[in-house]
Amino acid sequence: MTSPGGRPDVLRGPENSRVTTIELFFDVVYVLAVTQLTELLLHRLHPTGAAGAAVLLLAVWWAWVDTAWITNWFDPDQPRVRVLLIALMGISLVASSALPEAYGDRGLWFAVAYVALSVGRSLFVATALAARSDLHRNFQRLAVWRAASAPLWLAGGFASGPLRLGLWVAAVTLDSSAAACGFYVPGWGRSNPTEWAINGAHLAERARLFVIIALGESILVTGTVFGALGHGWPTLAALGSAFLGSVALWWIYFDRSAEAARQVIVEAEEPGRLGRSAYTYLHIPMVAGVIVTAVGDDLVLHQPNGAARPAVIGAVLGGPALFLTGFLLFKNAILGVRSRTHLGAVVVLVALGPLGLVLSPLALSALSTGVVATAAVRSMLLVSRRGRVPPAPPAEEPMR
């Protein structure tokens, strides 16, 4: 069945940018996913553990962002689309619950759930779109790429130890490179971002909500840990530093830039190109930065005094530095702005690394929070002086 305009009735109207309640309901599962990733990293504070957590974060991100792109085109108020989201939500719940033991006894559970998510979406699209839809070929390409990575995910689920990690690294690399390669398939060619007629306002709002999910999870972890510990002055100071650090990250992203970026993608001639670079790829380091920051906050709360271990130094300084690096790239990609303030903050955070060897975790956390808060305030003051939103950048060259 198609609409009077010849478009399948499951598609959104061109002016419908509203984020629906079923999309918000779907996101609830990813609160659990982010919490589980934080827990996983807390118990794997070594290079191999960090690499494993990064693989699973990317998997979680593609599971979520692929669905966000689909609901950018498909109307969640349509019964078939709503049933799809509920089914994906249930599968995501299985995948999220398996994350802490994904490199242990639950590896196959996670792999099967992840493959069911990616392949299931593709099958829905293949049956829901009419062959004449301009989206049909794009989703066929996506289905081929996701099907290509599925055997690697499943093989990793059956394997164990370094072999599992190696297979999953190959699988997530394939998934992560698909959009950058234009979903190239021999015989079908590659997809051009000009064909991705997305609703920029909707995609920007979905990405903002995921950042809120990550920041909210950070607050949740901090409050839960604090509630379980004794409330001495060092612990209270660690709580204050963690809370103010989360506020500073929120301020940096949401004060002016998030809304300015939304306006740019709404008015862009090729919103699909910005949706791919700024919202699909460049939000990954920001979300990762929030998760690593939450790990650092947890470690400081448990041991505010004494010597800071290398893992504590890496999390306390690396989390905010990773977030700011992602934000720098995001701001440059969509607003054409190269922020010296945020770049300077990243440099200072990296330079503080050696100093962390002689400071307590609490002192290091306070310094890190001070750097991020200073960057947030300085950025706000600079924008206020200019009194305007930066113009949209020129169209970027296609990613090769």
Helices (H), the chain: 21-42, 47-73, 79-98, 107-128, 136-158, 161-177, 200-228, 233-254, 257-267, 271-274, 284-302, 310-335, 340-351, 361-386
What does pTM read for this prediction?
0.90
27 pLDDT band (50/70/90 cuts)? Answer: very high
Mean of the pLDDT values across residues 81-109?
94
Above 50 in pLDDT, residue 391? no
Instruction: Out of 114-128, 144-158, 329-343, 371-385, pick the least confident.
Output: 371-385
Range in 55-64, 170-179, 214-223, 266-275 with the lowest mean pLDDT: 266-275
Q: Which residues pair with residue 185 across a beta bridge?
A: 189
Can you give the pLDDT at residue 338? 84
Percent of the chain with pLDDT over 70: 91
Judged against a pLDDT cut of 70, whether residue 218 lies above it is answered with: yes
Residue closest to 3 by CA, chosen among 83, 135, 12: 12
pLDDT given at position 400:
31
pLDDT, one tens digit per residue, over 298-317 is: 999 999 998 889 999 999 99
| Confidence at residue 48, expressed as pLDDT on a 0 to 100 scale | 93
Model pLDDT, residue 1: 43
Answer yes or no: is pLDDT of 96 > 90: yes
Residue 393 has a pLDDT of 46
Q: Mean pLDDT, to the nearest integer, of 130-158? A: 84
Residue 172 has pLDDT above 70, yes or no: yes
User: In which band, very low, low, confident or very high, does the pLDDT at 397 lie, cut at 50, 70 and 90?
Assistant: very low
Q: How far apart are CA 40 and CA 307, in angstroms?
A: 24
- What's the pLDDT at 269? 82
Residue 131: per-residue pLDDT: 57
Q: What is the pLDDT of residues 230-263, one digit of tens each?
A: 778 999 999 999 999 999 999 999 988 888 888 9
Residues above pLDDT 90, as percent of the chain: 57
Q: Which residues contact 292 (CB under 8 A, 6 or more apart)?
A: 41, 315, 318, 319, 322
Categorize the per-residue pLDDT at 133 as very low, low, confident or very high, splitting at 50, 70 and 90: low
Q: What is the mean pLDDT of the chain?
A: 87
Of the given ranges (20-34, 63-77, 128-142), which has the lowest mean pLDDT?
128-142
* Model confidence band, residue 395 (pLDDT cutoffs 50, 70, 90): very low
For residues 76-92, b (16+ Cβ closer than 10 Å) or e, as one string? bebeebbebbeebbebb
Report in angstroms the alpha-carbon separations of 182 from 53, 84, 168, 204. Answer: 27, 25, 22, 21
